[in-house]
Chains A and B, each alone.
Chain A
Amino acid sequence: MPSVIYRNIRWSGRLIVAGLIVQMLSLLWTHPLAFVCFLLIGCPLVGAGILFFLYSLVTHESARSPTS
Chain B
Amino acid sequence: MFNTALIPILFTAVVVLLGLLIAMRPEFTAARGGKIFAFVALCILPVVSVWAGFNAQIERSTSTQFCLSCHVMDKFGQSLYVDDKSYIPAAHFQNNLVPRDHACFTCHTDYTMFGDYSAKWRGVHHVIVQYFGTIPKPEDIKLYTPYNNRECLHCHAGSRSYEEASPHHKTPDLLSRAASNQLSCMSSDCHEFVHDVGDLGSATFWKPTAGGN
Contact = CB atoms under 8 A, between A and B. Distances in A.
Interface of A: 2, 5-7, 9-10, 12-14, 16-17, 19-21, 23-24, 26-28, 30-36, 38-39, 42-43, 46, 49-50, 53-54
B16 A32 contact: no
B66 A32 contact: yes
B30 A2 contact: yes
Interface of B: 5, 8-9, 12-13, 15-16, 19-20, 22-24, 26-27, 29-30, 38, 42-43, 46-47, 49-50, 53-54, 56-57, 60-61, 63, 65-66, 69-70, 120, 123-124, 126-127, 130-131
Contact of B42 (A5, A6, A30, A50): A50
Given A28-B9, A42-B53, A53-B43, A13 B19 contact: yes
A35 B130 CA distance: 14
5 contacts: A9-B42, A17-B16, A24-B9, A33-B131, A49-B42
Nearest to A14: B23
Given A24-B16, A32-B61, A53-B42, A13 B22 contact: yes
A67 to B, nearest CB: 21
Given A12-B42, A13-B26, A30 B60 contact: yes
Contacts of B46: 16, 19-20, 46, 49-50
B61 A20 contact: no
A42 B57 CA distance: 12
Contacts of A19: 46, 50
B9 A27 contact: yes
A54 B50 CA distance: 17
Contacts of B50: 19, 23, 42-43, 46
A6 B57 contact: no
Contacts of A36: 124, 127
A4 B121 CA distance: 41
A27 B8 contact: yes
Closest 4 CB pairs between A and B?
A: A13-B23, A6-B26, A9-B26, A17-B19
B38 to A, nearest CB: 7
